[in-house]
Structure 1
């Protein structure tokens, strides 16, 4: 092992970690923690990862990068386990990781059956709970040609996932301000043999008409839409400085499913946001039911120093955990009904390394023994075992 990268947090970090792994391929033994700062708990997990990896790799050089290392650079540099800290602005420069040779910025995946392709970085918004813009900076988009070249480097994978900090803002900083729909259409045109294109988390208010049409009408765009909802209550959304209302979210989901009923909805939701009342929490639970959220990322609110939300009246931490558990329970109920509805229906599944795989709507299936990793296979499930369709 010349280089080992541990990635925490978002899909963009996963894609960037793959690039860093390529830079480390021929260098001295190095362990890299690609940290996350989306919540205070994420920062704590990053610190724990640093300590654990130092114990497991006492002779290796240990480097910390990512959002937590960028926002709290001095604190990570002061850790006895850390040899160096690399801010986000430097982590995708080959010369950061190599002394004498510069390798191409390849993001070819060596650990995943699908290709994670970053198309955008940074964020121009100011959600009151989020510190990520401080770690990532303003939104910067890759040009269409750069995205297409990045996909070409993956060499014929069966699924490409477009990632970023605020993916739906792609193009706003480019000449002519193209939309994400323009980019998706260009990818589908450039790679007519690509069977599956998946999108990471989307901001519903930024879904342009072309993107809406592609999501709801193009079979090669996966019927798996993950929305950055954050809350189901209008007052909480206002205090978060989100740009959509509860009605906006529900209307978008209804319009999508009217055109493509098989769409499976995912959502990010925060439980126990400052000032949240029992009635506001009830709206958080009910939007899961109204939108049939089956892929839920439910976060108990975690106070993040340096954000406006940290200065708001806080909800008791125990109550925050209780509310998060109730939102997760509603997601689990919706997911259970959805999985039952998939029994007996054939699905095309992308085989992974552990004997399972994901269908287009991102349900997990057991694949036949011996199925090549990264290949597509049709599975007709007859039962559900521990959340896996078999």
Structure 2
């Protein structure tokens, strides 16, 4: 019997949770909560997961790691359900769990492999506690990334997804300060049989020229760009201490789509940031249409203790909730029109084990029942069913 690992939050946590499952294989009666602290709601869900896990496994040893284990350390340690905390920065170190250092790497749970190439963050966005939870930016050397991908491919993965807290800062702490484009180029050269390489969330202002060209022209780099955008108005972006302005995002997407029109855009957007007035909210709404955002992650702002934004004039909760709903509706409208435009077009779809799959542009499709997981099949959707192509 293996440890049970419960993952909350970002793709980084999902990737790290898979590594934890491999690391803790054979460890019975252990439950690990890999927590999130990006918003107050994420912390609430972490607490809820802890209570639920303790109720389901009353005799197990319950340990908490992840960002909330750093940011909310005292509060979580005081919970009667929790037996201990493991530092987020050390959660993949076998010594933190008192297990042998040699363990099988990864598990063949997914046809898409999330590959963590960078962790931590050196920036100081005024709303964010992630640097407190994950520490300074740290990059995996190219050789380590290639070994990781090789192992995933041996386990049947057909797509590698490069993940990081601040992915586009990869390489800044390595000798010679390589850029992310060099890593992507090295992966493509090392694995000519890797059919699909995807990037997780990126900071558009950090995209280097080589990476830009690979996104724009390399067929094996998926035409799907998820931007850490956060807002659509310059004054709010400055108060967030972001390093880009609205025009930078518009220019980037325009230049990329000019070379690769099928590129699908995703974005993180925050609703109700402190001092956001109706004009700022309108700018936030309008950037959804201007960039044609079809994959949207909408976050209602919630103050995190100790951050500069928590000391700024706050937007009423009801207004935040309403604005978040409007942003979600704007993205849903863009997405519906985008999906409708894909009906009748042949798409190369990587089949997952749950009966669905993703096209290169990250559109999700319902697959015929006989489709084998891990295969890339050509599907021409004829309709939209519950938000998925079919």
TM-score higher than 0.5 = yes
Contact in 2 for aligned 1:2/1:25 (Cα 8 Å): yes
| Structure 2 match to 1:123 | 121
Cα shift readout 1:110-151 (whole Å, capped 9, x = no counterpart):
432211100000000000000100111110101000000111
Q: CA deviation at 1:97?
A: 2.1
Tell me whether 1:229 sits opposite 2:211 in the alignment. no
Q: CA deviation at 1:374?
A: 1.9
| Structure 2 match to 1:195 | 195
Q: CA deviation at 1:105?
A: 7.3
Task: State the distance in 2 between where 1:386 and 1:28 align.
Answer: 39
Cα shift readout 1:279-314 (whole Å, capped 9, x = no counterpart):
000000000000000000011101111110000000
- The number of aligned residues is 388
Which contiguous aligned blocks of 4+ residues in structure 1 show a shift greater than 4 angstroms? none
| Structure 1 match to 2:146 | 148
| Structure 2 match to 1:254 | 254
Cα shift readout 1:200-256 (whole Å, capped 9, x = no counterpart):
000000000000000010000000100000000000000000000011111101111
TM-score, L = length of structure 2: 0.98
| Structure 2 match to 1:300 | 300
- How do residues 312-351 of structure 1 correspond to structure 2 at under 5 angstroms? 312-351=312-351
Task: State the distance in 2 between where 1:30 and 1:359 align.
Answer: 37
**Structure 1 stretches lacking a partner, 5+ long:** none
Q: State which drifts further: 277-286 or 348-357.
A: 348-357
User: Residue 63 of structure 2 aligns to a residue in which SS?
Assistant: strand
| Structure 2 match to 1:103 | 102
**Structure 2 stretches lacking a partner, 5+ long:** none
Task: State the distance in 2 between where 1:63 and 1:289 align.
Answer: 44
Q: Structure 1 residues 48 and 68 mapped into 2: Cα distance closer, same or farther (>3 Å)? A: same
| Structure 2 match to 1:27 | 27
- How do residues 269-284 of structure 1 correspond to structure 2 at under 5 angstroms? 269-284=269-284
Q: State which drifts further: 222-231 or 22-31.
A: 22-31
| Structure 1 match to 2:181 | 181
Cα shift readout 1:348-371 (whole Å, capped 9, x = no counterpart):
111112211111111110111121
Contact in 2 for aligned 1:19/1:105 (Cα 8 Å): no
Cα shift readout 1:75-96 (whole Å, capped 9, x = no counterpart):
2111111111001122011122
Q: Structure 1 residues 285 and 109 mapped into 2: Cα distance closer, same or farther (>3 Å)? A: farther
Task: State the distance in 1 between where 2:324 and 2:241 align.
Answer: 21
Contact in 2 for aligned 1:24/1:98 (Cα 8 Å): no
User: Residue 102 of structure 2 aligns to a residue in which SS?
Assistant: coil
Contact in 2 for aligned 1:116/1:163 (Cα 8 Å): yes
- Output the aligned Cα RMSD: 1.0
Tell me whether 1:389 sits opposite 2:389 in the alignment. yes
